Amino acid sequence: MFDSVFKDIRYELTRGNTLTKIILINCAVFIALLLAKIIITTVNGGDSNIYYLFTNWITLPTSFGQLMYQPWSLFTYSFVHEGLLHILFNMLLLYWFGAIAGDLIGDRRIFPIYFYGAFFGGLFAVLCLYIFPIGSISGFMVPGSSASVMAILFAAATLAPDYMMRLILIGSVRIKYIVLVLLFINVISISASTNIGNSLTHIGGALTGFLFIFILRTGRDPSWIFHRKNRNTVIKKRRKNEKSKIISIFDTVKKHELKAQLNKDIRSEYKLDLILEKIKKTGKESLTEEELNFLEKISKS
């Protein structure tokens, strides 16, 4: 049984999509840290100080001075979770909203959003607390992937604000309202002086996700640096002040709009609009084979 489980995990890590890999890595780090805490605490007779000294080096310090000595924590903190509910909640949100974003802009852009969300979300929090210092927050450490998750949430909501999700006890809700409620909760937490460091990283992550999609829609791909094959091409284009090509749903829409203007193909335009609206509401997996073929034909035209 265990051998089969390990084979499944190995398969997902090697051939699975980016979203699955991020979730598996988060779970693996959580289990490893949990086992390390149990072993260290047992060996030291119940004293877990050594464990926390170690985790302090991979969680985000809200002190700008301390961050200068551990800059790697701007990313590593996004894989450290404090408890089971903490990681469970984050991974569920990551799975749900990451699938939406991945369908619309491609799986290869999920990790860049995750990375940027952690980095800029953490930097946003540290700079805010440096400019507007709050006494008791000094030296506070921020763990968790919430900033990265918020970046992906807002990326998905910016792409498809009217996409419907069914929530327990509530029913179907548009994702734009879900992310706005989460953002409001974090703003309230700041005004109530509770979890300020965490809330600021969440807000920074949310802004990062929104800006990522905003930049993507202008024709520039913020994720180009993560794709080695396209890196040299993109650099040459940027030197000539040209926009980078984005192989995404935005290109499909743009190509179709140009074709519709030239050929006056109203029926095709209407059909594409219906397909894109269907993707926003129910996801790409809900498309029929005919609709998928039509979308592929339009994207290649």
- Kind and range of the H or E element at 170? none
Mean pLDDT value of segment 154-175: 86
Please tell me whether residues 198 and 128 are part of one structural domain.
yes
pLDDT 10s digits, 65-112: 888 899 999 999 999 998 899 899 999 999 999 999 988 888 889 999
Range of the domain at 263: 248-300
Question: Is residue 242 situated within a structural domain?
Answer: no
Question: Is residue 201 situated within a structural domain?
Answer: yes
Please tell me whether residues 161 and 46 are part of one structural domain.
yes
Question: Is residue 134 situated within a structural domain?
Answer: yes
- C-alpha distances in angstroms, 300 versus 31, 110, 190, 264, 287? 45, 24, 48, 18, 18
Please tell me whether residues 182 and 271 are part of one structural domain.
no
Question: Is residue 230 situated within a structural domain?
Answer: no
Please tell me whether residues 176 and 272 are part of one structural domain.
no
Please tell me whether residues 63 and 192 are part of one structural domain.
yes
Instruction: Choose among 26, 27, 48, 23: nearest CA to 36.
Output: 48
More confident residue, 197 or 299: 197
Please tell me whether residues 265 and 191 are part of one structural domain.
no
Distant-in-sequence, close-in-space partners of 53: CB < 8 Å, separation ≥ 6: none
Please tell me whether residues 259 and 219 are part of one structural domain.
no
Return the structure tokens found at 114.
Answer: 């995750």
Please tell me whether residues 219 and 252 are part of one structural domain.
no
Does residue 259 have a pLDDT over 80? no
Please tell me whether residues 54 and 139 are part of one structural domain.
yes
Name 48's bridge partners: none
Mean pLDDT value of segment 185-199: 80
Does residue 190 have a pLDDT over 70? yes
pLDDT at 228: 62
Domain end, chosen from 176, 191, 225, is at 225
- Looking at residue 215, its amino acid is I
Number of domains forming the structure of the chain: 2
Q: Give burial (CB, 10 Å; 0-12/13-18/19+) of 95.
A: middle
Please tell me whether residues 188 and 272 are part of one structural domain.
no
Average per-residue pLDDT for the chain? 79
More confident residue, 28 or 270: 28
pLDDT 10s digits, 124-136: 999 988 887 765 5
Give pTM, 2 decimals: 0.74
Please tell me whether residues 185 and 220 are part of one structural domain.
yes
Does residue 192 have a pLDDT over 50? yes
Instruction: Choose among 299, 78, 64: nearest CA to 202.
Output: 78
Please tell me whether residues 71 and 188 are part of one structural domain.
yes
pLDDT at 213: 93
CATH number at residue 84: 1.20.1540.10
Does residue 231 have a pLDDT over 70? no
